[in-house]
């Protein structure tokens, strides 16, 4: 590790400690709001390593120039998947503050409380999901020279199962009995979108760039997919007159949550979709970067819209601190993992 790399890591860790101290001060005064803020930060930042793993598996099966162009960003992000074991620990500690079923079994049916929604099973399901994703990450890296088609195929199947479970646990279990059968797919697509936007923002730009159109086209397809899935979910719930589900939307149908939803929709869907309809933007790596920033901001606001209404407006303050802390720590973890991978590759090839 060079001196400049060590200095950058030290700076990130120092800044993370400073903001973590601020978050800890909030936790002393308002522990429930601080726990909610950390959950928002964890759910946003976890999208990048997990989404990068998902994109890597898809590229292993389908090929395409876009995967090679994004590899300098996706590889270190994917290598940081095991870091999520540490990032989720505060969520586990804060379960009694976050999830109502942890302190009152009356909010769910007795058999659900006994056999599914309890702390042990919640933690177990989350740990299994993270372990599966981490194992796939390691196996994909070890078998990369041989094009790990089998691992990627099995990994995608396992991902589909695990994301369907933990998406409901991490998000919807905050407000039982609200459930949505399409929510796992929605979270999975959001992870793809966030990771793709992250790659489009940070990937190096070559002198001759024929790949930008592929990246822009895939990002556009993902954005159209999430807009359709979420719209159809709302349409079915609202016009199906399902009161046990409509309450979730009703409690968000006032300021500031309505404004937060509008901002998330505009930044995360409307602006990037209409921008990517234009070929001069879709085919330019430089023009894709502001679009990617808009997508990332929209994703961040969308996560806040899903979580914060259960805890009040003040939860957005610790959420800002948590987003900074987790972002810095995850970036440091990705940089360290990238250096470790590079060192392993060098030893493998006898450098």
Mean pLDDT of 338-344: 61
Go through the chain and tell me how many residues it has. 351
Distance CA 123, CA 129 (A): 10
Residue-level pLDDT at 2 = 65
Residue-level pLDDT at 314 = 93
Of 310, 235, 237, 337, the closest CA to residue 43 belongs to 310
Of the chain, the end-to-end C-alpha distance in Å amounts to 15
Highest average pLDDT, of 20-29, 103-112, 113-122, comes from: 20-29
Residue-level pLDDT at 91 = 96
Per-residue three-class SS string for 244-288 = HHHHHHHCCCCCCHHHHHHHHHHHHHHHHHHHHCCHHHHCCHHHH
Distance CA 347, CA 231 (A): 50
Mean pLDDT of 178-204: 90
Distance CA 67, CA 77 (A): 14
**147: which 2 tokens?**
């094009």
Cβ neighbours around 129 below 10 Å, total: 24
Asked if the peptide bond before residue 135 counts as cis, ω within 30 degrees of 0, the response is no
List Cα–Cα distances, 264 to 124, 202, 267, 268, in angstroms: 32, 22, 5, 5
Cβ neighbours around 226 below 10 Å, total: 21
Domain residues for the domain of 172 are 3-348
Distance CA 247, CA 310 (A): 12
Banded model confidence at residue 338, pLDDT cuts 50, 70, 90: low
Residues 6+ positions from 97 with CB-CB distance below 8 Å: 31, 32, 35, 36
Residue-level pLDDT at 171 = 93
Residue 91 is given by DSSP the state H
Domain count, the chain: 1
3-state secondary structure of 85: helix
Asked if the peptide bond before residue 177 counts as cis, ω within 30 degrees of 0, the response is yes
Evaluate if residue 143 carries a pLDDT over 80: no
More confident residue, 188 or 9: 188
Beta strands in 3-152, from DSSP E residues, in sequence order: none
Beta strands in the chain, from DSSP E residues, in sequence order: none
List Cα–Cα distances, 179 to 169, 244, 299, 310, in angstroms: 10, 9, 21, 15
Cβ atoms of 190 and 227 within 8 Å: the answer is: no
Q: Whole-model pTM?
A: 0.91
**65: which 2 tokens?**
């120039």
Cβ atoms of 37 and 319 within 8 Å: the answer is: yes
Mean pLDDT of 251-275: 93
Residue-level pLDDT at 341 = 59
Buried b (16+ CB within 10 A) or exposed e, 287-305: bbbebbebbbbbbbbbbbb
Q: What percent of the chain has pLDDT over 90?
A: 58
List Cα–Cα distances, 97 to 31, 112, 253, in angstroms: 8, 19, 24
Banded model confidence at residue 57, pLDDT cuts 50, 70, 90: very high
Residues 6+ positions from 204 with CB-CB distance below 8 Å: 72
Map tokens 């990450």 to a residue: 137
Distance CA 47, CA 26 (A): 25
Mean pLDDT of 209-214: 77
Map tokens 């979730």 to a residue: 248
Give residue-wise pLDDT tens across range 215-260: 999 999 999 999 998 888 878 777 777 666 667 777 888 889 999 9
Give residue-wise pLDDT tens across range 283-295: 888 899 999 999 9
Banded model confidence at residue 104, pLDDT cuts 50, 70, 90: confident
Look at the alpha carbons of 169, 171, 173, 177 in this order and tell me if their dihedral is positive or negative. Answer: negative
Residue-level pLDDT at 181 = 78
């Amino acid at each position: 590790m060079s001196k400049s790399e060590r200095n950058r890591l030290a700076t990130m860790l120092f800044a993370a400690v400073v903001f973590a101290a601020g978050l800890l001060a909030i936790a002393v005064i308002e522990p429930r709001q601080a726990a909610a803020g950390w959950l928002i930060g964890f759910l946003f930042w976890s999208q990048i390593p997990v989404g990068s793993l998902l994109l890597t598996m898809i590229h292993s099966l389908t090929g395409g120039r876009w995967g090679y162009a994004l590899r300098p960003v996706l590889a270190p992000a994917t290598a940081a998947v095991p870091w999520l074991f540490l990032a989720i620990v505060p969520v586990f500690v804060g379960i009694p503050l976050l999830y109502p079923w942890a302190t009152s079994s009356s909010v769910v049916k007795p058999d659900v409380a006994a056999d599914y929604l309890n702390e042990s099973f919640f933690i177990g399901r989350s740990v299994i999901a993270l372990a599966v994703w981490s194992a796939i990450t390691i196996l994909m890296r070890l078998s990369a020279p041989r094009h790990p088609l089998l691992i990627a195929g099995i990994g995608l199947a396992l991902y589909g199962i695990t994301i369907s479970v933990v998406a409901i646990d991490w998000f919807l279990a905050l407000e039982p009995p609200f459930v949505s059968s399409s929510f796992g797919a929605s979270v999975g697509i959001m992870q793809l979108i966030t990771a793709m936007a992250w790659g489009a923002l940070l990937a190096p730009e070559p002198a001759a760039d024929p790949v930008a159109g592929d990246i822009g086209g895939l990002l556009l397809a993902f954005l159209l997919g999430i807009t359709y899935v979420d719209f159809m979910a709302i349409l079915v719930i609202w016009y199906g007159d399902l009161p046990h589900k409509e309450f979730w939307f009703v409690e968000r149908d006032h300021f500031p949550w309505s404004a937060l939803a509008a901002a998330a929709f505009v930044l995360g869907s409307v602006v990037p979709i209409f921008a990517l309809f234009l070929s001069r933007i879709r085919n330019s790596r430089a023009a894709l970067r502001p679009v990617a920033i808009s997508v990332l901001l929209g994703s961040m606001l969308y996560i806040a819209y899903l979580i914060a209404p259960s805890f009040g407006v003040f939860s957005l303050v610790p959420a800002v601190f948590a987003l900074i802390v987790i972002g810095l720590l995850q970036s440091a973890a990705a940089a360290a993992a990238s250096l470790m991978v590079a060192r392993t590759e060098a030893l493998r090839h006898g450098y």
